[in-house]
Amino acid sequence: MDGIGDVAVGVKRGSDELLSGSMYNSPSSGLSSISDATSNGSDSKKLRVEDRVGDAPLSRVLHIRKLPNDVSETEIIALGLPFGKVTNILTLKGKNQAFLELSTEEAAMTMVNYYSAVTPHIRSVPVYIQYSNHKELKTDNSNQSGGTLTSGSNSSDGGGMASSPVLRIIIDNMFYPVTLDVLQQIFSKFGTVMKIITFTKNNQFQALLQYNDPTNAQQAKVALDGQNIYNACCTLRIDYSKLVNLNVKYNNDKSRDYTRPELPAGDGQPALDPTVVSALGKDSTSLLGALSPLSAAAAAAAAAGRVALSGHSGASGVLLVSNLNEEMVTPHSLFTLFGVYGDVQRVKILFNKKDSALIQMADMNQAQLAMSHLNGQKMYSKIIRVTMSKHQTVQLPRDGLDDQGLTKDFTNSPLHRFKKPGSKNFQNIFPPSATLHLSNIPQDITEEDLRVLFSNSGGTVKAFKFFQDHKMALIQMTTIEEAIQCLIDLHNYNMGNNHHLKVSFSKSTI
């Protein structure tokens, strides 16, 4: 039995007091069993999949139990950060419990799904997560004893209440590039980011980031200070700035005013007014192996799924994908789509449940990235669900066993996008979008040729734009689903003379 380990999840909605350690794996808990007998090396194995059934109610508030003594709110919030904006937190003093409110029910469901496969730990202690019967958290600012719910805004984070909406950010251990786009994606989980300025001062990569509200700045500091953007590196050091407003002159890769998209790029002019630098004071800390900020967009999407995930030990890079269109899906189509976010090693469509598949990525980071971007997307007219699997690897069929081509080994595929260290593909990881980026286009191929090719995949081309050298182009489909279909069908398409078309999602629109 491939169970959920020792994390209590599901939709059972009883008391929010301390509950017994029993698992909520009855039919009423919303857990359905997917059998993969003979599909991953064992006739008796079963996958336990978090799958909401019936009319079981959802809540964006989660109840977390068995927390370590003196746990900080930062540690609790870190559990929810990869899944969306954390909008509130309450603690039950003396009961080792807390309530975490996310911005949407979908984010809460994704969090429960993930931790059903990867047991959450705080300070090496497993914690237990379930839906709360609270629909939202309404808190006051009193700090009473005796198990009363207390507001997260009362916690001491060493900086007191934020009076400025501007944060100063320093990156320690910056072994990978951290760009303006990376910072915007991480910090926007806590509110509207209005302006960002990045700069190098005393060989340190720093940033000033302005929210529209000081409360957002406080929530971001509490949640993110000391967290790693990537596993074991790129540590955020966050303080409140003495500034209350940033004056951004240019919109480029070093500064951005999101309220004024008409600002010029600046042609390489310094983005930061020298008077602002002097206003920062001299209390900066040093960077280990300091790097100047890189202009490339350095896989901004990767940051969202990696914050605060380094503590989940024992997790593999295997995904479980369900609700697939079993009449259409193939190992190769899954390899192509999931290959946008990592190097797919093996794919196995389950023998006894062909609307589900196991996908083994090269590592946990790639698996998390694929899950965060593809869960809930439409593939072959069906909304797919992507969760982490308990399997450590995807096993190949036994010698001589015919599994009808349901399992494919892509370990040595030449189509892996991320095999080469420093590949520019790392800089072009974006969520699924209706606009696709095309490259490796032969010189004799026309716009009409490409419009016909992509229309034949069942979609409607809304717009098209060649880059100046005609080796690359943008093509915009009507829907994201159409773009996904075109990417699956036409990535690595032979255009003649050994020119294989490269297709990826674009962050731009035409």
Rounded CA-CA distance 192/178 in Å is 20
- Residue 305 lies inside a defined structural domain of this protein: no
Are 439 and 497 contained in the same domain?
Answer: yes
Is 32 a domain residue? Answer: no
pLDDT at 56 over 80: no
Q: Which of 20-24, 136-140, 304-308 is the least confident region?
A: 20-24
- Both 434 and 371 in one domain: the answer is no
- Is 266 inside a domain boundary? no
- The rounded distance, in Å, linking the Cα atoms of 250 and 270 is 9
Q: How far apart are CA 281 and CA 242, in angstroms?
A: 9
Residue that is last in its domain, among 234, 257, 280:
257
What pLDDT, on a 0 to 100 scale, did the predictor assign at position 60?
A: 92
Tens digits of per-residue pLDDT, 221-259?
A: 888 888 888 776 788 999 988 888 999 999 998 899 999
- Indicate whether 170 and 222 sit together in one domain: yes
Please check the confidence at residue 89 and state whether its pLDDT lies above 70: yes
123 plus 205 within the same structural domain:
no
Domain stops at, among 229, 257, 285? 257
Residue 267 pLDDT more than 70? no
The verdict on residue 105 lying in a domain is yes
pLDDT band at residue 123, thresholds of 50, 70 and 90?
confident
Same domain, 433 and 493: yes
143 inside domain: no
Whether residues 192 and 253 fall in one domain: yes
The band of 419, judged by pLDDT with boundaries at 50, 70 and 90, is confident
Which of 274 and 416 is assigned the larger pLDDT?
Answer: 416
Is 218 part of any domain? yes
If pLDDT is split at 50, 70 and 90, which confidence band does 98 have?
Answer: very high
What CA–CA distance (Å, rounded) separates 396 from 199? 50
**pLDDT for 26-36, tens place per residue?**
222 333 333 34
User: What is the rounded end-to-end Cα distance, in angstroms, of the chain?
Assistant: 50
Based on the domain organization, do 187 and 117 belong to the same domain? no
- Write the CB contacts of 389 (distance below 8 Å, at least 6 apart in sequence): 47, 117, 316, 318, 319, 320, 358
Q: Does residue 343 sit in the same domain as residue 388?
A: yes
Identify any residues that bridge with 204 across adjacent strands, giving them in sequence order.
201
- The 3-state secondary structure of 226-279, one letter per residue: CCEEECCEEEEEEEECCCCCCCCCCCCCCEEECCCCCCCCCCCCCCCCHHHHHH
The pLDDT-based confidence of 422 (bands split at 50, 70, 90) is low
Residue 120 confidence (pLDDT) above 50? yes
Task: Count Cα atoms within 13 angstroms, Cβ side, for 144.
Answer: 8
Choose the final residue of a domain: 257, 272, 298. 257
CATH number of residue 474's parent domain: 3.30.70.330
**Would the pLDDT of 326 be above 50?**
yes
Instruction: Answer yes or no: is 347 within a domain.
Output: yes
Residue 348 domain flag: yes
pLDDT at 330: 96
* 432 and 499 part of one domain: yes
Q: Which domain holds residue 99?
A: 61-131
Q: Which residues pair with 453 in a beta bridge?
A: none
- The answer, yes or no, to whether residue 380 has pLDDT greater than 80, is yes
Distance separating alpha carbons of residues 316 and 392, to the nearest angstrom: 5
Q: How do residues 434-463 score in pLDDT, each as one tens digit? A: 999 999 999 999 999 999 999 998 889 999
The radius of gyration computed from the CA coordinates of the chain, to the nearest angstrom, equals 24
Q: Report how far residue 271's alpha carbon sits from residue 132's, in angstroms, rounded to the nearest whole number.
A: 46
Q: How far is CA 182 from the centre of its chain?
A: 12
Specify whether the CB–CB gap between 137 and 99 falls below 8 A: yes
**Tokens standing for 254?**
């070093």
Q: What is the pLDDT of residue 121?
A: 86
Number of domains in the chain: 4
| 457 and 381 both lie in a single domain | no
